[in-house]
Structure 1
Amino acid sequence: MARPFGRHGPLTERERAMAETAWQYFVKSYQPDTGLVNAVGSYPSTTLWDTGSYISALVAARELRLIDKREFDLRANLLIKTLRNLDLFRGEMPNKVYNTKTGQKVDYANKPGEVGHSVLDIGRMLVWLKILKERYPYLAPGIDATVLRWNFCNTVKPDGSLFGSVLSKGETRYVQEGRLGYEQYAAKGFELWGFGSAAALSPDPLEYTEIFGVRVPIDGRDPRIFGNMNYVLTESYLLDGLELGWKLPGDMSNDTPGLATQGWRAEFANRIYLVQQRRFEETGIMTARSEHQVDGAPFFVYDSIWANGFAWSTLDPSDVYRPERAAIAAKAAIGMWALWETPYTDLLMEAVGDLSTEDGGFYEGLYENGNGYIPLQTANNNGIILAALLYKEQGPILQHLNTNTQVWDTAFTHQDTRANRCLPQPKPVQACCNCQAAAPEPGVPAADFLYCRPVVQADGSIAATACGLEPHGLPAPVTVAAAATTAQMCPLPPRVQP
């Protein structure tokens, strides 16, 4: 088996202690009536993004043997029950925010109400629900029943672009959501469930800006025209690497963790990493940038590598420049440590690896200006840290292990429900009565199999990738097909008399 990118092997004693510490956040902030976890500390509110991070933590806790199967099953099944019965925004998709104590949809003040749906949050949730049902097939029916309730008609457009929604003066407005990095990560979540999201999966329109000699990829859409800021952040590239191995959504292989079949994603991730290392080398400022919570106003910042035409721009949600809130984000530092085995990521680990409390998990990060650590503990930060530690032990977290017939593929096949909810239409497959006569699936263009391998530098570090076409033995990525109807099945063989 090819070695994964970055670090690989059993956790050290220190790393295992880190995993145990990160899991304590999900012990302390757990809501036993709903199975949800608070997104930030003791405040009883969460989003689908943060709930995806909780699933990340739950899988890591089970795989790293922090909890036993009984605790895992009780937590997972209660969570699935709550997700299955969520009150949906406009009866279509999960609301952006829910109260973790009651499971009610709420507004941003945590009062009963609704505010819209986030396609980026839903894309992350789809990634982790897919991971959950692939690793633990006995959970698949409940997971499928959850997603089958959702109506995707206003979310996935015919060209494959992805739309969220907002409430504006009491009216629902559907808006394209996501920029380079996050848009493609969310699109992979939809693709894993059979949705066509070609427009969102594409990096176009793509531009570059040079920072410390590194050509950093940026989204080419003008925020003055389109209204969405094009922040360049680390997190989405890390999640793609840790969870999906920078692979094509249709790549079903489990034995090539060191080959990134979606090569440009791996290459862009390397540039995002490398420019932060270069900043440290040039300025001495330790850098691991990501969006993160902060204590007090503005409560949240986009700690960007590039935004609004400027490098190293830290902006609040109102796009006000807040340089005093720039930080070494713990999740970014430990995520980069897992994916790039270099002296620089060793240094990042030393900076944040003990930035925690034993009973509450890791703090958000360390302010760049010397103002100490951010005294907040969150589900997203601790969930990503656990995912990074699981990656070190097992490689990319998505493993295609569930070969069972899926409710997702067979439900509503003789009703209009699939069309009415814009669910992917299952492709009927005839049973192979005469396998020699069965037509093979069409081949995949070679351009879809641009591979990337890690390249060891002269100093022993791994800070770039070599991408190119090469022979491979991977199966062509194809949509999972539903079983054929009875009329299409091969006749049963005659019963053998005893």
Structure 2
Amino acid sequence: MTERRSTRSAPAWLLCLAMAWPGQTALAQDDATTGSEAQAEDADAPFGRHGPLTEREMEMARTAWSYFVERYQPETGLVNAVGAYPSTTLWDTASYISGLVAAYELGIIDKRTFDSRATQLIGTLRNLSLFNGEAPNKVYNTQTGEKVNYANQPGEVGYSVLDMGRMLVWLRILKERYPYLANGVDNVPLRWNFCNIVNEDGRLFGSLVRGDGSTRYVQEGRLGYEEYAAKGFALWGFDVWGALDPAPLEYTTIYDVEVPYDGRDPRVFHNQNYVLTESYLLDGLELGWDLPVDDPDGRGVASQGWRAEFAHRIFLVQQRRFESTGIITARSEHQVDGKPYFVYDSIFADGYAWNTLDPSDVYQPDRAAVASKAAIGMWALWDHPYTDLLFETVADLSEAEGGFFEGLYENGNGYIPLQTANNNGIILAALLYKEQGPILKFANDNTSFWDMAWDGTPIRTNKCLPEPMEVEVTCCACEDLPTVQPSVPWEEFTYCRPLQREAGIAATDCRPEAQEFEKPQPRVVLPRQCRPPQDWLP
């Protein structure tokens, strides 16, 4: 599709947050950009591989799509999350949308099939029975569309803001790429109530059901996933600055790579800080590691620079593990056959590198695997001999009528004989990325029903919806904000070249070896006055 440049700019809360950071002042033109930086900035080529798919890659795309043909439920338009089991989540349904968009854009299905599936799915999502009348339940039966518990029996278990955030990313992609679907898409989140979901600090809260049946609201998400989900909410206008901030941060050294992890202690907060590949892959494939606004610098610059820097470290440490041990490594959470059914196949967790844990935090080393989605995702985002090896490891790990298997066990026990919506959806997204670059393209400048619904009425307030029709006056006293350091300062960039931008530090020119970057020096400028608009003058 043809991409149009949007007029969307960073919201006031994002700009004022950036202005509070030291070093975010105007830079002298000669100091801000070297010749090599200018060349990198001008390049519109996306990170990693780009170009038409080969016939082999197209066959892989058709194979991945076959999962969504085999596991489709015609009564609801939903797709099973895992094989024949008729259950799904918002996360897995977003992965189905990922596969649907890719299949259409790559020419695997025609517009009639795409429209039929998309409109039926939107209708089902629009009419889901919500948990506590607030937001979609964590699990639904794909045959009936009814909310269920983890045993697929009628019931409620709460909602996940991480799942909701991923769904919001893909609903926005649908709305931007296909404006004729926008009206239906907008009606999906308009049914939700966000008052218990986004707090005043810009943090995201999910919910769960206690043993006595009462509801508990809990902060959800750790480094990687929290920021990815927050971008989904920000794309719809929510102020989620707290969830977008990577602090508190810690680092652990693995094969001489400073690997970032969430600094919140699992013993205190009762939430593991797994370091996994998937959230960084999704952010790169879908959003180009950009802030949740239009990127004026193009596809070769990540406007949320620390995301590109950290993603590169996640890739590099896995490459170095292979070089040091001979173990082909592409780590992500994934399904497994038999108990424990699911593992977090981490790069780092609970104080240990290469720690494979089940949901009960029991060590499961025999379940470590080369995850197919991680291998193909890294292949798309990093054009490197190691990702060529990853590609060959999983490229044929599939059935022609059923899709790709979850992965290949590291210990030689063969492949994981399970096929899932998430795995096949991400593989399709990676193949689409190679052909088109980041999948979100701001191309719909039409008036939005999401913006206008109930405008000026208490309904928007009662649902805690954003107020896009209220323009916030630019901060006139931002210089009075307390001085804070960015969570990932300029000096922390090792593998990606940092670039100073209005909304923070962007990044480009990522390489597999450490680089040295000279921080640009600010120039002194006269203080700015906050002049009233012309129509305010007598």
Residue equivalent to 1:86: 128
Residue equivalent to 1:199: 242
Letter in 2 for 1:197: V
| Residues 56-92 of structure 1: per-residue CA shift (max 9 Å, x gap) | 0000001001000000000000000000000000000
- Aligned-pair identity in percent equals 70
Structure 1 residues 396 and 468 mapped into 2: Cα distance closer, same or farther (>3 Å)? Answer: farther
Aligned partners of 2:518, 2:233: CA distance in 1, in Å?
27
Residue 59 of structure 2, aligned match among 17, 29, 43: 17
Conservation of the 8 A alpha-carbon contact between 1:54 and 1:380: yes
Conservation of the 8 A alpha-carbon contact between 1:252 and 1:400: no
Letter in 2 for 1:190: F
How much does 1:423 deviate? 0.3
Residue 505 of structure 2, aligned match among 447, 450, 458: 450
Aligned partners of 1:286, 1:441: CA distance in 2, in Å?
51
Residue 180 of structure 1, aligned match among 213, 223, 226: 223
Instruction: Please give the residue correspondences for 1:38-57 in structure 2 after superposition, counting only pairs within 5 Å.
Output: 38-57=80-99
Letter in 2 for 1:25: Y
Residue equivalent to 2:483: none
| Residues 198-220 of structure 1: per-residue CA shift (max 9 Å, x gap) | 11100000010000000000100
How much does 1:427 deviate? 2.7
Structure 1 residues 120 and 422 mapped into 2: Cα distance closer, same or farther (>3 Å)? Answer: same
Residue equivalent to 2:158: 116
Residue equivalent to 1:496: none
How much does 1:226 deviate? 0.5
Letter in 2 for 1:191: A
Residue equivalent to 1:127: 169
How much does 1:428 deviate? 4.2
Aligned partners of 2:474, 2:162: CA distance in 1, in Å?
35
Structure 1 residues 278 and 44 mapped into 2: Cα distance closer, same or farther (>3 Å)? Answer: same
Residue equivalent to 2:45: 3
How much does 1:448 deviate? 2.4
Letter in 1 for 2:207: S
How much does 1:317 deviate? 0.4
Residue 318 of structure 1, aligned match among 354, 360, 376: 360
How much does 1:467 deviate? 7.6
Aligned partners of 2:470, 2:242: CA distance in 1, in Å?
26
| Residues 402-461 of structure 1: per-residue CA shift (max 9 Å, x gap) | 01000000000132111001000123479xxxxxxxx9999x9946242212345xxxxx
Q: SS where residue 242 of structure 1 aligns?
A: helix
Aligned partners of 2:237, 2:246: CA distance in 1, in Å?
20
Residue 325 of structure 2, aligned match among 276, 283, 286: 283
Q: SS where residue 206 of structure 2 aligns?
A: strand
Count of matched residue pairs: 458
Structure 1 residues 440 and 90 mapped into 2: Cα distance closer, same or farther (>3 Å)? Answer: closer
Conservation of the 8 A alpha-carbon contact between 1:335 and 1:388: yes
Q: Which has the higher contact order (CA 8 A, sep 6+)?
A: 2
Aligned partners of 2:515, 2:273: CA distance in 1, in Å?
25
Q: Does 1:144 align with 2:199?
A: no
How much does 1:250 deviate? 2.0
Q: SS where residue 450 of structure 1 aligns?
A: strand
Aligned partners of 1:64, 1:463: CA distance in 2, in Å?
34
Letter in 1 for 2:422: N
How much does 1:266 deviate? 0.3
Q: SS where residue 166 of structure 1 aligns?
A: strand
Structure 1 residues 224 and 447 mapped into 2: Cα distance closer, same or farther (>3 Å)? Answer: farther
| Residues 212-239 of structure 1: per-residue CA shift (max 9 Å, x gap) | 0000001000001001000000000000
How much does 1:466 deviate? 8.1
Residue equivalent to 1:230: 273
Q: Does 1:404 align with 2:446?
A: yes
Conservation of the 8 A alpha-carbon contact between 1:455 and 1:466: no
Structure 1 residues 99 and 129 mapped into 2: Cα distance closer, same or farther (>3 Å)? Answer: same
Letter in 2 for 1:412: W
Aligned partners of 2:193, 2:517: CA distance in 1, in Å?
38
Instruction: Please give the residue correspondences for 1:97-496 in structure 2 after superposition, counting only pairs within 5 Å.
Output: 97-169=139-211, 170-253=213-296, 256-428=298-470, 446=501, 448-455=503-510, 462=512
Conservation of the 8 A alpha-carbon contact between 1:454 and 1:466: no
Q: SS where residue 164 of structure 1 aligns?
A: strand
Tell me the C-alpha RMSD between the 2 structures: 2.1
Task: Tell me which moved more, 401-410 or 255-264.
Answer: 255-264
| Residues 239-268 of structure 1: per-residue CA shift (max 9 Å, x gap) | 000000000112354x71110010000000
Aligned partners of 1:467, 1:130: CA distance in 2, in Å?
36
Q: Which runs of 5+ in 2 are unaligned?
A: 1-42, 479-499, 521-538
Residue equivalent to 1:459: none
Q: SS where residue 121 of structure 1 aligns?
A: helix
Conservation of the 8 A alpha-carbon contact between 1:159 and 1:198: yes
Aligned partners of 1:9, 1:90: CA distance in 2, in Å?
47
Q: TM-score, normalised by structure 2?
A: 0.82
How much does 1:322 deviate? 0.2
How much does 1:469 deviate? 7.9
Structure 1 residues 78 and 468 mapped into 2: Cα distance closer, same or farther (>3 Å)? Answer: farther
Aligned partners of 2:516, 2:506: CA distance in 1, in Å?
8
| Residues 159-200 of structure 1: per-residue CA shift (max 9 Å, x gap) | 100000000020000000000000000000000000011111
Q: SS where residue 337 of structure 1 aligns?
A: helix
Aligned partners of 1:395, 1:412: CA distance in 2, in Å?
36
Aligned partners of 2:518, 2:52: CA distance in 1, in Å?
31
Aligned partners of 1:380, 1:468: CA distance in 2, in Å?
41
Residue equivalent to 2:491: none
Aligned partners of 1:111, 1:465: CA distance in 2, in Å?
54
| Residues 352-376 of structure 1: per-residue CA shift (max 9 Å, x gap) | 0000000000000000000000000
Structure 1 residues 465 and 232 mapped into 2: Cα distance closer, same or farther (>3 Å)? Answer: farther
Conservation of the 8 A alpha-carbon contact between 2:83 and 2:420: yes
Q: TM-score, normalised by structure 1?
A: 0.89
